[in-house]
Amino acid sequence: MRAILLILALLGATVGGAGAASAGAPLHRSEWQAFVTRFVLPEGRVSDTGNKGISHSEGQGYGMVMATAYGDRETFDRLWRWTAANLQVRGDHLFAWKWEPGPAAATDLNSASDGDILIAWGLLRAAGTWNDEGYAAAALAILDDVRDRLVVETSLGRVLLPGPEGFVRDGSVVLNPSYWVFPALEAFARRHDGDLWRAVSDSGRALIRRARFGEAGLPPDWVELAGTGMRLPSGFETVFGFNAIRVPLYAIWGGLDDADALNRPVISWWSGHDGAPYIPATVDLATNARAPYGLSAGGRAVSVLTRFRGDALPLLPSLGDADDYYSATLILLTKIAFSERFMR
């Protein structure tokens, strides 16, 4: 049965217009080319079109990971050159998280650990794809600084701070569950420090199991760990939203043996809106207020993948003209995750 499904997926529909869907998730080159044309500027900067055209380490890392999946070394090298020259300016191997086109400079030198992780993972993938250990050397230098500056010991074990500054409070730490990029952590365990990255992966799974808030018990974008207790942190959004939507994606992509259990509250939440006009894009976990607008096409792609059980091909949205940077990124990442998790 699986062989038949994979053959059908490989024969799946090509890219459609806005709102179209394709069976399975073959990696259509035309979708990647459309992404590059619309969001990757000639110098190698990814423009976040939904956020005033800024660039950030997350976007550069996503672009690098996607370029390896599509075998596009020319675009990968453009992305990496720009990233190293414009974001790796802190004095260590981490990356300023935010670059603005107005001043044409990095305007917030604090790093974001998911961006650091995605860039390092992209480099390791490139080393394997194109047999170039120069990429791997750059990745390992980044990971040394992630280990030294962003991993701290807590009651959950070794956890990943969202950045070097601003997340350690008096007796507590603020964490972002979506920064645990599980397939990347698996790759790091093979190439860098196995004990460290397996411990970080374990703490992320423990965090997701326990950090469940609101009526639906959903994972939050941000959570504060104080001793053994957890709460929604002051000064941060209290939503299951644009960050936490990546939690189920990474659990599936990482092939976690407990992915279904980790994702069960999200699966129930999304399934509970089948037949409704839309699935709310966010829900406030402190008040249970729901966004008056639905998931983007990228969010719908993650929802479809999260509920995939292998009995029928998932109908994943295709990249359309209405998709901004983040929606487009989620569409392509979901298809790459499906391809790498279920089609190999």
Alpha carbons 273 and 70: distance in angstroms, whole number: 34
Backbone φ and ψ of 48, nearest 5°: -85, 95
Alpha carbons 225 and 203: distance in angstroms, whole number: 12
Is 258 in contact with 182 (CB distance < 8 Å)? no
Active site residue 58: yes
Active site residue 74: no
Alpha carbons 251 and 257: distance in angstroms, whole number: 9
CA angle 81, 83, 86 (to 5 degrees): 105
Pick the closest to residue 141 from 84, 210, 195, 92 (CA basis). 92
Spatial CB neighbours of 324, under 8 Å, sequence gap ≥ 6: 48, 49, 50, 296
C-alpha torsion 197→194→91→120, nearest 10: -70
Spatial CB neighbours of 264, under 8 Å, sequence gap ≥ 6: none
Q: Catalytic one among 58, 221, 224, 323?
A: 58
Q: Catalytic one among 114, 116, 145, 221?
A: 114
Active centre residues (catalytic): 58, 114
